[in-house]
Amino acid sequence: MRLHRLLCSLAFAGASLTVHAQGTLRVGMTAADIPIVTGQPDQGGEGQRFLAYTAYDALVHWDFSSADKPSTLVPGLAASWKVDDKDRTKWTFTIRKGVKYHDGSEFKAQAAVWNFDKLLKSDAPQYDSKQAAQGRSRIPAIKTYRAIDDYTLEIVTNEPDAFLPYQLTWIPMSSPANWEKVGKSWEAYAKSVSGTGPWKLVSWTPRERAELVPNKAYWDPKRVPKLDRMILLPLPEPSTRVAALRSGQVDWIEAPPGDAVPGLKAAGFQIITNVYPHNWVWHLSRAEGSPFNDVRVRKAANLAIDREGLNKLLGGLSIPAKGFMPPGHEWFGKPEALRYDPAAARKLMAEAGYTKEKPLAFKAIVPSSGSGMMQPLPMNELVQQNLNEVGFKVELEAMEWNTIINAWRAGAKAPGSRGAAAMNYSYFIQDPFTAFTRHLQSDLIAPKGTNWGYYNDKAMDDLLLKAKTTFEPKEQTRVLQQIHEKFVNDALFLAITHDVNPRALSPKVQGFVQAQNWFQDFSPVYMTK
Amino acid sequence: MIAYLLKRLGLVIPIALAVSVVCFALVYLAPGDPLSAVVPSDASKEMVEELKKEYGFDKPIPVQYAVWLGRTLQGNLGQSIATGRPVATEIGSAIGNTLILAFAASLVGFTLGAVLGTIAGYFSGSWIDKAVSAIAVAGVSVPHYWLGMVLVIVFSVILGWLPAMGAGPGGSGEWTWDAEHLKHLVLPAFALSVIPTSIVTRTLRALVADTLSKEFVIALVAKGLGQGAIFMHVVKNVAPTALAVMGVQLGYLMGGSILIETVFSWPGTGFLLNTAIFQRDVPLLQGTILVLAMFFVGLNLIVDLVQTALDPRIRRT
């Protein structure tokens, strides 16, 4: 024990020798490379978190200021927006005046048009297929766009679509003036980055590091960074991230592995978690012949899962599902909350004609690993065991993550889904489209969209259309609650758990507010000695 | 000698072609496709198909291969799908870092291996030999990425003596041969050196013991030659084979450091390959494997030439 203490004090002594100047935050990301720096980042949620909302702004932002309630939309580069009362496809965005890019040029409505062309107009000189690959799928509503004057932007949607502002949060605005200045080349732009965001990217090396410094002239004084410098380091290997934090090489790591958390806590590191719009489900097939076309079977499956037991398996780093959205979410509504009741599940299964002796056999495809998938193999084994106890006989087929993504895009009936009646997947459910529409709308059945399970219900289609065409936020929320209530009461998916977005911080890191969001604000963060 | 060199160089072309075909085929045998890993996961199949067309991935695989080969023959390795950066630039920056690591590891591995192997060979059958052999067996049996993690836990986390990851405080772009940077090199180089140390030890032990039992050595002893002179004879006889083994090991170190580079976030070709594999970044994967294979072939060629120079019998055969 004494030796252990001696070693620990030596470790801290060693760590203190390598402490950086106060005000520099070094972050270990899970990505293997620095995300695309020219505007529209890759590397999923992490890319958007570290290189979109830092160096750039979008027309519409998320409010990151509170940890206690789900983030809502707030004005970004657009100071306000409204939809035309007569023609509900026509939106007018009033551009915030006086916003300057890091290169000194001003952001105007024409710059927004130029950025949409960068993603959508393949014959535009600034069209960039890499950024388009990332951005185009985020803004399916947009039909046309034009600058009416310097500070007025008009966007016309394909059909009335109240979700447009959510889609626009995905589109960071690159600088047209900078692109011209560097010789109309995105490769050159990457070496001299310019956005309007609260951070300036001053240097970066592929796969190694990116350095950002505060933009002291940022248009929102509340979001001017307190730090002197932020350094981003790609550390894809979880044990390397933990070692880098513990040895004092970084001050902050994303996604510490669950088994490292007790040790990190004991060593004095802060483990920050919060509910956020993520879920971990079994997406059920509703194709012809799927056993899940019987609502009793779907409900029985939902009653069979010991979600608290699963939380123990995950070291407490999860939030057991009460519905499809996390508990407390503004769209949760008042569905019949999910519970663990194997006796009731067995009763329903018996009604449907299945018992433990005569079980309902089906196949579920599950990923062996993957973004947001937590610890898929042990978790799925627990789900399998729970289901088998009430009259199912589940065959699990583990697949490589990219194969699962392809199967998910191709639909439950496609050969890639291998006849499975369920697929384990984790979902980003931050806006109405990603939360509900893409899974449930009948005209988004693959390959048109990602309604993997071929779910087709007129009443749900009507509700989805109503949400999309309800422009008053409170009313829209009520419709989204109705959708969620139907989602849960009809047991459309097997809802299992939610991740808590853990990150581990050195005790020196202060001021961070973990928003209930996939993205975060680093502006309030500062370092103590 | 020049004819021999030309003959060997001529063999490089079919090897390069074979390597490129095999690695192209392997990429397509692996699950997933090049674009699915690059577009956001909620992009529909329709949109992925559209982008595939834009990138040329909708064409039959042999056509894609021919296009790639044509471009490569003109010295253009293409651009990474994931980042859009030229593959040549990506490999250029990574290979320097891998060379630093591979040479540091081989310096440690070959020196230790040569010393330990020679000692064990000289004392063949004794407890020294048994101890060295035990170390060598353990060295080849221990997974080096696991050893890397253990080294990090002991020397970085518990003792805090050495950094756990990275190629220097400011990244590899600012690499200099000073104490601060060498500290970053110690753990990955040591972890990477364990296998070559063991292999060189075992090889040299066997070679030295075998040479010492040869009749000419007995003759030399009978002639009254001193231990030092006999040792020089042993070295001359052992060197060609030992060099061949070391050359192959250096080749493995160049291409085989993927796990160590990932564990230590060392920005070399192994880390690059790892990223390319996970992103199904075909041009980057192709380019890196091709360059590494060429390194391997080149190293073997150099070893062959040195061997031939050291032992004229090889050329005669």
* B159 contacts A33? CB cut-off 8 A: no
Q: pLDDT tens across B259-312, in order?
A: 899 889 899 999 898 888 877 788 888 888 888 888 888 888 888 888 777 777
Predicted confidence (pLDDT) at residue A16 exceeds the cutoff of 70: no
Residues from chain B that touch A209, judged by Cβ atoms under 8 A, are: 170-171
Q: What is the mean pLDDT of residues A127-136?
A: 87
The pLDDT assigned to B314 comes to: 67
Q: What is the SS3 assignment for chain B?
A: CHHHHHHHHHHHHHHHHHHHHHHHHHHHHCCCCCCCCCCCCCCCHHHHHHHHHHHCCCCCHHHHHHHHHHHHHCCCCCECCCCCCEHHHHHHHHHHHHHHHHHHHHHHHHHHHHHHHHHHHHCCCCHHHHHHHHHHHHHHHCCHHHHHHHHHHHHHHHCCCCCCCCCCCCCHHHCCCCHHHHHHHHHHHHHHHHHHHHHHHHHHHHHHHHHHCCHHHHHHHHHCCCHHHHHHHHHHHHHHHHHHHHHHHHHHHHHCCHHHHHHCCCCCHHHHHHHHHHCCCHHHHHHHHHHHHHHHHHHHHHHHHHHHHHCCHHHHC
Q: What is the pLDDT of residues B89-99, one digit of tens each?
A: 889 889 999 99
Percent of chain B with pLDDT over 90: 30
Any B CB within 8 A of A14 CB = yes
Please, what sign has the CA dihedral across residues B286, A119, A447, A497? positive
**DSSP conformation class of A48:** I
Interface probe, candidates B87, B89, B265, chain A, greatest A C-beta count within 10 A: B265
pLDDT at A251 over 70: yes
What residue of A is the nearest CA neighbor of B49?
A447
CB contact under 8 A, B82 and A42: yes
Q: What's the whole-number mean pLDDT along residues B164-176?
A: 82
**Residues A234, B265: C-beta atoms closer than 8 Å:** yes
What's the pLDDT at B315?
A: 61
Report the pLDDT value the prediction gives residue A5, as an integer from 0 to 100: 46
The residue that leads in pLDDT, A216 or A405, is A216
Say whether residue B84 is in contact with chain A using an 8 A CB cutoff.
yes
Question: Per-residue pLDDT for A352 more than 60?
Answer: yes
Mean pLDDT of B149-173: 89
Q: What is the pLDDT of residue B248?
A: 85
Contact A243 B171 (CB under 8 A): no
pLDDT tops 80 at residue B174: no
Per-residue pLDDT reduced to its tens digit, A268-279: 999 999 999 999
Tens-digit pLDDT profile for residues B39-48: 776 777 777 7
Q: What is the pLDDT of residues A432-468, one digit of tens each?
A: 999 999 999 999 897 788 899 999 999 999 999 999 9
Look at residue A1 in the predicted model and tell me its pLDDT: 40
Chain A positions in Cβ-Cβ contact with residue B38 (cut-off 8 Å): 42, 133
- Per-residue pLDDT of B179-226, as tens digits, reads 888 999 999 999 999 999 999 999 999 999 999 888 898 898 888 888
A12, A32, A449 member nearest B275 (Cβ) = A32
B29–A contact, CB cutoff 8 A: no
Interface of A with B in 241-300 (CB under 8 A): 243-244, 246-249
- What whole-number distance in Å separates Cα of residue A307 and Cα of residue A301? 12
Supply A302's token pair.
């939902």
List, for residues B240-262, the tens digit of each pLDDT value. 888 888 988 888 887 758 889 98
Task: Note the pLDDT of residue A18.
Answer: 41
pLDDT of residue B244: 86
Q: Which residues of B touch A11 (CB under 8 A)?
A: 157-160
List the single range of A106-115, A475-484, B59-68, B195-204 with lowest mean pLDDT: B59-68
Q: What is the DSSP letter of A501?
A: -
What is the 8-class DSSP label of residue A259?
G
Highest mean pLDDT among A286-290, B217-221, B237-241: A286-290
pLDDT confidence tier of residue A19, bands split at 50, 70 and 90: very low
* Interchain CB distance below 8 Å, A236 and B31: no
Q: Are A33 and B158 a contacting pair at CB < 8 A?
A: no
Q: Residue A61: is its pLDDT beyond 80? A: yes
Mean pLDDT of chain A, nearest integer:
92
pLDDT of A149 strictly over 70: yes
Structure tokens at B12: 């490089």
CA distance B180 to chain A (A): 11
Which of the four pLDDT bands, split at 50, 70 and 90, describes residue A491? very high
CB-CB contact of A445 with A411 (8 Å): yes
Contact residues on chain B for A206, CB-CB shorter than 8 A = 83, 85, 90, 93, 267
Residue B66 has pLDDT above 50, yes or no: yes
Q: Which has more pLDDT, A458 or B32?
A: A458
pLDDT winner (highest mean) among A95-104, A513-522, B57-66, B289-298: A95-104
What are the two backbone dihedrals, phi and then psi, of residue B192, each rounded to the nearest 5 degrees? -75, -25
Encoding tokens for residue A404? 């699962």
Give A227→chain B minimum CA distance, Å: 18
Residue A149 or residue A410, greater confidence: A149
pTM: 0.86
Provide the mean pLDDT of chain B: 85
A36 touches B at CB < 8 Å = yes
- For residues A273 and B1, what is the distance between their CA atoms, to the nearest angstrom? 68
> Lowest mean pLDDT: which of A354-358, A380-384, B57-61, B313-317?
B313-317
Chain A residue numbers with beta carbons less than 8 Å from the beta carbon of B44 are 137, 409, 444, 446-450
Contact A233 B265 (CB under 8 A): yes
- Chosen for mutation from B44, B87, B257 (greatest number of chain A CBs closer than 10 Å) is B44
Nearest Cβ partner for B153 among A8, A32, A243:
A243
- Residue A17 confidence (pLDDT) above 60: no
CA B174 to chain centre: 24
* Three-state secondary structure call for residue A201: strand
pLDDT at A416 over 80: yes
User: Facing residues of B247 across strands?
Assistant: none
Count CB-CB contacts under 10 A for residue B228: 7
pLDDT classification of B172: cutoffs 50, 70, 90: confident
pLDDT > 90? residue B67: no
pLDDT at B56 over 60: yes
Does the pLDDT at position A524 exceed 90?
Answer: yes
A188 interfaces chain B, CB cutoff of 8 Å = no
Determine the residue of chain B that is closest to A133 in CA distance.
B39
Instruction: Find residues 131-160 of chain B whose CB sits inside 8 Å of chain A.
Output: 149, 152-153, 156-160
* CB contact A24 to B (< 8 Å): no
Query: Chain B within 8 Å of A434 (Cβ-Cβ)?
Result: yes
**Dihedral pair phi/psi, residue B51, rounded to 5°:** -70, -35
Rounded percentage of chain A residues whose pLDDT exceeds 90 = 77
CB contact under 8 A, B36 and A406: yes
Predicted pLDDT at B276: 85
Contacts of B280 in chain A (CB under 8 A): 402
> Of A205, A246, A401, which is closest to B157 when you measure between CB atoms?
A246
Please give the ipTM for the structure prediction: 0.82
HEC profile of A368-432 = CCCCCCCCHHHHHHHHHHHHHCCCEEEEEEEECHHHHHHHHHHCCCCHHHCCCCEEEEEEECCCH
Mean pLDDT value of segment A502-520? 94
Instruction: Tell me if A446 and B167 make a contact (CB, 8 A cut-off).
Output: no
